[in-house]
Amino acid sequence: MIISSMAKNGAILTAFALVTTGLVASINALTADKIAEQEQLHLTSQLQEVLDPSTYDNELSKDCVIISDERLGPNGDQIIYRARKNNKPVALVVRHVTPNGYSGDISLLTAVLRDGSIAGVRTTKHEETPGLGDKVEVKKSLWITTFKNLTVQSEDDARWAVKKDGGQFDQFTGATITPRAVVGSVKKAVLFAQSEFDAIFAAPNAECLEVTNE
Amino acid sequence: MSELKTLYKEGVWVNNPALVQLLGLCPLLAVTSTITNALGLGLATLLVLVGSNVSVSIVRNWVPKDIRIPVFVMIIAGFVTIVQLLMNAYTYGLYQSLGIFIPLIVTNCAIIGRAEAYASKNPVHLSAFDGLMMGLGFMIVLVVLGAMRELIGQGTLFDSADLLLGPWAQSLRIEVFNFDNQFLLAILPPGAFLGLGLLIAGKNVIDAQIKSKQVAPPEAEKGPRARVTSLT
């Protein structure tokens, strides 16, 4: 009696599991291409914001290396895109993360030209306080664009700090920790790109798209 | 009163999921910082609610009582995943800004509540209408709360509506006030609690007024009202 009702219920549950899983799987198959396309579009527009597309002629989003380096953040692998023109190195677009934000990690994207200067920086992901720390987003404030054309001279370049610490970057009213974290992280990423520039261009290409789950 | 009219009144006002049943508060409080986010999550919840109500109603005679809850959960989870995939594919920007709250629709008790309390006992067309009305009631509260918080917090309405509706919607953005600094309390979670509290209070005031007008024929209401969920 119990056994037969268990078997019946089990069979019904299995049938439902199969049907719902089948439905989800088929919708997944239908939308997979579109989702990949959207992610690709999103990535291309991110890259365009930090580096002018006319300066390179390769397919930037597919030319990359994946490197784990303490200067790019504590969370392991980071993607570095390589911009080339006529097969000559133009710039590196580096993803990096800083854990020093006010609440949670701040993910950044920095483009460094061959002469060591910055072509652009953008915040790609953060959890900072709305209205205070979120001014690192280009949608909220143009602060992040002040990095453009700057360069880092050395590890102890005193200008690479917020004004409160004696540097050249504005802090925000009511939020010093966020810009301090961003400035520090960009500085380390630029130093990294400067010192490893040629080595990164010499490295073999990696599968870039697999890891871009922003 | 016809069944449809009752369902409409129940969903949107008398038994509103957010204001009376107080279900689904986690997403309600978390995403209502702008109208766009509120509308996006409202629509997603509405779709899931209609879909799950219809499916639950279709299968209601074949599912034994003992295993109905796992079956409902599977159906709801399936619909949420489908909605999530569709939003990821067609409203990518909104998908990014709603983040974890789309999969969390699964945990919105209003949905399994309707499946259990209504759809599992009623025919398909009524269940579909019930889902639509409950979803609508939930969405209206989300949007009103989103509008309040966006207006007080940022001084705008329909900011970044293009994420949901496509590029043409950029022109919908209305700048009502211009603040140098945003009014943080409205944007942060406490603002959502205060806003929801005010909405519930407002609803109760209106209900009380309606009731006091109806007092005229005093013998009309004798026995206790049978509705348990709307004790507030």
Q: How confident is the model over B85-116, as pLDDT tens digits?
A: 998 898 888 888 787 788 888 888 888 888 98
Instruction: Summarize the confidence of residues B118-127 as an average pLDDT.
Output: 91
Cross-chain CB nearest to A27 (options B82, B92, B181): B82
Quote the minimal CA–CA distance from A13 to chain B in Å. Answer: 7
Q: Count structural domains, chain B.
A: 1
Q: What is the 3-state secondary structure (H, E, C) of B42-107?
A: HHHHHHHHHHHHHHHHHHCCCCCHHHHHHHHHHHHHHHHHHHHHHHHHHCHHHHHHHHHHCHHHHH
Q: Over pLDDT 70: what percentage of chain B? A: 90
* pLDDT of the residue at B34: 83
Query: For residue A84, what are its two tokens?
Result: 């080339």
**In this structure, which amino acid lies at residue A116?**
G
What tens-digit pLDDT sequence spans chain A (214 residues)?
788 888 888 999 999 999 999 999 999 999 999 988 888 888 888 899 899 988 998 888 888 888 888 888 887 788 899 999 888 899 999 999 999 998 889 999 999 999 989 999 999 888 888 778 888 888 878 899 999 999 988 888 888 999 888 889 988 888 889 999 999 999 999 999 999 888 888 888 887 765 444 4
* pLDDT of the residue at A76: 77
* pLDDT of the residue at A192: 92
Q: Which residues of chain B have a CB within 8 Å of the CB of A28?
A: 85
* pLDDT of the residue at B78: 93
**In this structure, which amino acid lies at residue B46?**
L
pLDDT at B219 over 60: no
Query: Nearest-CA residue of chain B relative to A174?
Result: B181
- Residue-wise pLDDT tens digits, B141-152: 999 999 988 888
- Residue-wise pLDDT tens digits, B36-69: 888 888 999 999 999 999 999 999 888 888 888 9
**In this structure, which amino acid lies at residue A45?**
S
A88-98: strand order across its sheet? A64-68, A77-85, A88-98, A106-113, A118-125
pTM over 0.80: no
For residue B134, tell me if it sits in a domain. Answer: yes
Q: Looking at the complex, does the CB of residue B69 fall below 8 Å from at least one CB of chain A?
A: no
pLDDT at B220 over 70: no
A24/B184 touch (CB, cutoff 8 Å), yes or no: no
Whole domain around residue B189: which residue ranges?
3-213
On whether the CB atoms of residues A135 and A143 are closer than 8 A, the answer is yes
* pLDDT of the residue at A212: 44
For residue B231, tell me if it sits in a domain. Answer: no
pLDDT at B75 over 60: yes
* pLDDT of the residue at B181: 64
pLDDT at B1 over 60: no
Q: What is the 3-state secondary structure (H, E, C) of B159-191?
A: CCCHHHHCHHHHHHCEECCCCCCCCHHHHCHHH
Three-state DSSP class for residue A173: coil
- Count the Cβ atoms, other than its own, within 10 Å of residue A80: 27
Burial class (CB in 10 A: 0-12, 13-18, 19+), A42: middle
Cβ neighbors of B173 (< 8 A, separation 6 or more) are B156, B157, B158, B159, B160, B161
pLDDT at B223 over 60: no
Find which of A38, A41, A127 to mutate to test the B interface (most B CBs within 10 Å of its CB): A38
B74/A34 touch (CB, cutoff 8 Å), yes or no: no
On whether the CB atoms of residues B51 and B78 are closer than 8 A, the answer is no
On whether the CB atoms of residues A156 and A88 are closer than 8 A, the answer is no
CA distance B155 to B220: 47
On whether the CB atoms of residues B225 and B219 are closer than 8 A, the answer is no
